[in-house]
Structure 1
Amino acid sequence: MLKESRFANVLASNSLLSTISELKRKRDQFVSALFTPIDYSQLVLFRIVFGLLIALHSVQSVSSDWVRRNFMLPSYTFSHIGMDWLQPLPGDGMLYYFYAMALLGLLISIGFFYRWSLGLFTILWTGVYFMQKTAYNNHHYLLLLLCLIMLFLPANCAYSVDAKLKPSIRRNAIPQWCIWVLILQVGIVYFYATVAKLYPDWLDGTFTREMLRKHATPTLENLYSQKWFYLFIAYAGILFDLMVVPLLLWRRTRFLAFIASLIFHVFNKLHLGIGIFPFLALSFTILFFPPETIRRIFFRKKITAPIPVHADYSGKKILIYFFVPYFIFQSLFPLRHWLIEGDVLWTEEGHRLSWRMMLRNRSGYSKFYVVDPVTKEKKRYKLKRILTKKQIRGMQTKPDMIWQTAQKIKEEYQKKGKEVHIYIDSKVSINKKPLRRLIDPNIDFAKAKWNYFTHNEWILLYE
């Protein structure tokens, strides 16, 4: 029995060692694959398209009056809380600001002072992103993240002015991880977009029905009102977000996934607008096709030197010390609303920066009342004194912007040397449901605080 026990222990030990050895081998294979040199064609083409889209978006923002309506007309913009000091440039300053970003986009596209151009654009776009929330879009955040990632990638190694002026930066290959970090970012966006759609009003077609009805033309109104059609759009949206990245990764389904992506994003562009995002999303498909295919279609010039066969570990520190923490954060941060009391669909706490895209329609009203603490006189505050019509529409259903408006009213009276109480009558409907009270009407917002990481008690909760 003793011998049998020892024999069993030896077998178990050998099995454990074999498992550990196999795990190490797979780890080494994975690391080797990350640093395997590949043709630069995917990254270089993505840089060219990315820069052109940046330039296009910046010019369109001016020509469509978006800059004037969101930065020039308002006397106050809803900066992200804590960044109230970040306000638009006076006069026509924001027009020149966006023209400068358009120029930087072109410089990025041609690869002229690539990192300086991209770095400066990233700073300017960060300012735009944090400067206002009235016209908030998730792709504004995505654009910021892509800029940050591209700063660390050698996207100017070929087909760039930099490579012509400075031959020492020329490369005929890049490590595989340069493509995978972009794919991983795209995958995170689509994954959380899928998860966010798994709630009743999406699954029963309530939201897609209202969304289609809002954007329907007279010729399409009958089709869009059909139950089978808006349910098809709802579940097609879930399946697309869930499957598009895996299907693009698999060679056998890649072309079909590309066609599906083309149809999906063209449909969104025609019906929802949403700026350059459909084109930006389509540009991601460049990253999934083999570099040989990209070269054959877009870069007819052959590489003069062969692709190295040995792993290129030149960016190992960047990958370990920047991208690993970066993706841990990107994977966990969208989950933060689960740690906050209440349903994020109602409270909006943890909604932004979480890829909760095109999910719900919020409607309702918020009325602000100012009470003199001495005379007890109560007056309704006229929001048009400090906000534009667009700002009022955007603010009155969103708790953080409601709180910011109250602080602005408080500040106005303080400048006059007056202390006042501020109370809010606010009711909101989600997806055309009955109105419910959003804000506790008994809370004095002259004293209310904003909690960044926990639930704000003045936002009412419901079962």
Structure 2
Amino acid sequence: MLNRFLFSKIDNSQLIIFRIFFGILVSLECYGAILTGWVRRTLVEPKFTFNFIGFDWLQPLPGFGMYYYFFVMGTLGLLIALGYKYRFAIISFTLMWTGVYLMQKTSYNNHYYLLVLISLIMCFLPAQRSHSLDVKSNPSLKSDNMFAYVKWIIIFQLLIVYTYASIAKLYGDWFDLGIIRILMLSKAGYPIIGDLLQEPFIHKIISISGILFDLLIVPALLWKPTRKIAFFASIFFHLFNSIVFQIGIFPYLSLAFTVFFFEPETIRNIFFKKKKPFILQKVELPSYKNLFYVLGGIYFLIQLSLPIRHHFIKDDVLWTEEGHRLSWRMMLRSRTGKLKFQVVNTENGKTTIIKTEDYLSGKQRRRIAGYPDFIWQFAQRLKKEYAEKGEHIEVYAQNSKVSINGKPYRPFIDPKVDLASAKWNYFWHNEWIFPSPTEEKNP
């Protein structure tokens, strides 16, 4: 039965139009990152970036290098849309986008992670088999069908994203509207809708609809009687996100995913009226069937496991941030922090309070005090810089406090721990993070 479900041949119009949408959108994202100044602010102006720990070797290119880097990625997006040298273009884009994702966390976004995953999946899909320049140059590539598993891989990935995003919202500050009030406060200056977004009843609507939309949208799109309603709800939801939160291409990429939920014939009739219809649906087991099950099983096991890993790490992820990333915990908290970095020369005992403005961009300074991995990485940066001058130092986080979702500031990092010599624990709790206020009350 599973073989029939996954390896039936169906019309490939869904995949073809998604390839075109995908290529255009990632091209706009990359060119837009240059034009809006995102590349300059995030990758050019900072003296160093807070990369994912373990990827220190991934650093921005010097000079104008990152502008060229993003221009190349944008051009690869156009090649993907045109289906020209598709396999080269999608693999190259995936590697380059993943590199950008891993080399900086200051502008971390779950959507950037989703784009890494979708790009990776697209590397293995036959998305160039129709309406592509590759087919024009090599007609033997042409095909009007694909295995059903192509659309189900995308749909299952989306189901994971939306379901975990919905579950993550089932906590106090989301229901108490604390985080939503903070998110909307920064939108007060918007013309027309700015004042409306400050109304408590709007916050309640956003709270309830956010949970319900994430939980129900995939099942509602899959079920034919609710598909059209769900589609129009998606349009409203994602356009609202685009206007209010200004998150680039990702609301439109989310809308592009909906092509996989409609019947292939419907998509063909809308976008490819001259395309030859594929009517015969048959099961054809590929030679790589067993490998498909093994690799697919491993991939989705990882995707199902990563968002729940924080349950196996000591203390509350909302406080420690350990296990937050790669978990679809979207728009759940607003963190602000304050601290002073104290450097102590171990040879002469000289103490120095570091001026972070000498090292960090404005955005980096706003984030560093609230995130333990940022704090630890900056301590390692100081250790390296002083070592190059022949000095051995210790680094302490003094008066470290964090406020989450507008709550009172609480002590965050143990001021007695030398962060320069502390090791980063990738998979478990770092004990130099003070217990959360909740943990203190319930030891």
Q: TM-score range by the shorter chain?
A: over 0.9
2:197 matches 1:224: yes
1:75–1:386 Cα contact (<8 Å) kept: yes
Q: Which residues of 2 match residues 101-112 of structure 1 at below 5 A? A: 101-112=73-84
Per-residue deviation at 1:377? 3.2
* Alpha-carbon distance change, 302 to 274 in structure 1, aligned in 2, over 3 angstroms: closer
- TM score, norm. by length of structure 1: 0.91
* Range that drifts further, 249-258 or 313-322: 313-322
2:395 matches 1:456: no
Structure 1: gaps (5+ residues):
1-27
Q: For residue 429 of structure 1, give the secondary structure of its aligned residue in structure 2.
A: strand
Quote the residue 1:434 is aligned against.
Answer: 408
1:173–1:307 Cα contact (<8 Å) kept: no
Q: For residue 215 of structure 1, give the secondary structure of its aligned residue in structure 2.
A: coil
Give the CA RMSD over aligned residues: 1.3
- TM score, norm. by length of structure 2: 0.95
Separation (CA, whole Å) in 2 of partners of 1:266 and 1:260:
10
CA offsets 1:5-27 (integer angstroms, 9 cap, x no match): xxxxxxxxxxxxxxxxxxxxxxx
Separation (CA, whole Å) in 1 of partners of 2:195 and 2:23:
40
Which amino acid counterpart does residue 372 of structure 1 have in structure 2?
Answer: N
Separation (CA, whole Å) in 2 of partners of 1:393 and 1:383:
10
2:107 matches 1:145: no
Q: Which residues of 2 match residues 157-168 of structure 1 at below 5 A? A: 157-168=129-140
Q: For residue 367 of structure 1, give the secondary structure of its aligned residue in structure 2.
A: strand
2:13–2:144 Cα contact (<8 Å) kept: no
Aligned length: 434
* Range that drifts further, 69-78 or 41-50: 69-78
Which amino acid counterpart does residue 419 of structure 2 have in structure 1?
Answer: F
Per-residue deviation at 1:378? 2.3
* Alpha-carbon distance change, 402 to 107 in structure 1, aligned in 2, over 3 angstroms: same
Quote the residue 1:446 is aligned against.
Answer: 420
Q: Which residues of 2 match residues 112-191 of structure 1 at below 5 A? A: 112-191=84-163
2:320 matches 1:351: no
2:394–2:420 Cα contact (<8 Å) kept: yes
For residue 341 of structure 2, the aligned residue among 363, 368, 372 is: 368
CA offsets 1:295-334 (integer angstroms, 9 cap, x no match): 1111111416x53332122252453132121111111111
For residue 363 of structure 2, the aligned residue among 386, 390, 396 is: 390
Separation (CA, whole Å) in 1 of partners of 2:275 and 2:161:
34
Quote the residue 1:334 is aligned against.
Answer: 307
Quote the residue 1:378 is aligned against.
Answer: 351
Which amino acid counterpart does residue 412 of structure 1 have in structure 2?
Answer: E
Q: For residue 432 of structure 1, give the secondary structure of its aligned residue in structure 2.
A: coil
2:385 matches 1:412: yes
Separation (CA, whole Å) in 2 of partners of 1:353 and 1:71:
21
Quote the residue 1:67 is aligned against.
Answer: 39
Q: For residue 186 of structure 2, give the secondary structure of its aligned residue in structure 1.
A: helix
* Range that drifts further, 69-78 or 209-218: 209-218
* Alpha-carbon distance change, 390 to 222 in structure 1, aligned in 2, over 3 angstroms: closer
Q: For residue 108 of structure 2, give the secondary structure of its aligned residue in structure 1.
A: coil
Quote the residue 1:3 is aligned against.
Answer: none
2:343–2:393 Cα contact (<8 Å) kept: yes
Separation (CA, whole Å) in 1 of partners of 2:104 and 2:379:
17
Separation (CA, whole Å) in 2 of partners of 1:66 and 1:223:
29
Quote the residue 1:250 is aligned against.
Answer: 223
Structure 2: gaps (5+ residues):
none
Q: For residue 238 of structure 1, give the secondary structure of its aligned residue in structure 2.
A: helix
Separation (CA, whole Å) in 2 of partners of 1:120 and 1:182:
20
